Amino acid sequence: MVCLGNICRSPIAEGIVKRKLQSAGFDAIVDSAGLLSYHSGEQPDHRAMETAARFGIDISYQRARQITRTDFENFDLILAMDSSVYSELKSFRQSSGIRKIHLFLEYAGYPAGSDVPDPYYGTMRHFEECFKLIESASVALVTRILSEAGVNE
């Protein structure tokens, strides 16, 4: 799960998708990272932690990090939270890893080019909308991941 700062959207996505895959009994490494190093080492934004906690998901253990080239080798699927992150990721990796990179909402069946809006400059309401959007999309996302991994639900 990749966004810009790795303190708002992608930590929420990591928390939700990890929980759903665990509940499905699927053993996967779910992680998140940001394009920027600005917040590296920090906990998620307190508004993201509070919102996730309110919906029963603990993301306080997470620490922000910048995406690295080895991530493109180590992970099977790299999901960008918005189109600008997606374009940036594709320009990082011109060769074999490119097929692993998808737009998060598009991969979950939303219309092409759908973005998870960045709540960073917004209010708690924007964080709640962000959480709910990621949560809704994650249902289809996890179904697709399990299906592509050959797991019968």
Q: List residues near ligand 4NP by CB under 6 A.
A: 3-9, 34, 38, 118, 120
Residue 126 near residue 117, CB atoms below 8 Å: yes
**Smallest gap from residue 130 Cβ to ligand 4NP (A):** 8
Tell me how far, at minimum, the Cβ of 151 lies from ligand 4NP, in Å: 29
Q: Sign of torsion, CA 14 19 24 29?
A: positive
Smallest gap, in angstroms, from Cβ of residue 8 to ligand 4NP? 3
Nearer to ligand 4NP, 75 or 104 (CB): 104
Query: Given 8, 9, 71, 82, which residue is catalytic?
Result: 9
Secondary structure (DSSP) of 36-82: --TTTTPPPPHHHHHHHHHTT---TT----B--TTHHHH-S-EEESS
Residue 12's nearest CA partner among 133, 124, 140 is 133
Quick one: 3 or 142, whose CB is closer to ligand 4NP? Answer: 3
Catalytic residue of the set 45, 82, 115, 118? 118
118: annotated active-site residue: yes
Q: Catalytic amino acids?
A: 3, 9, 118
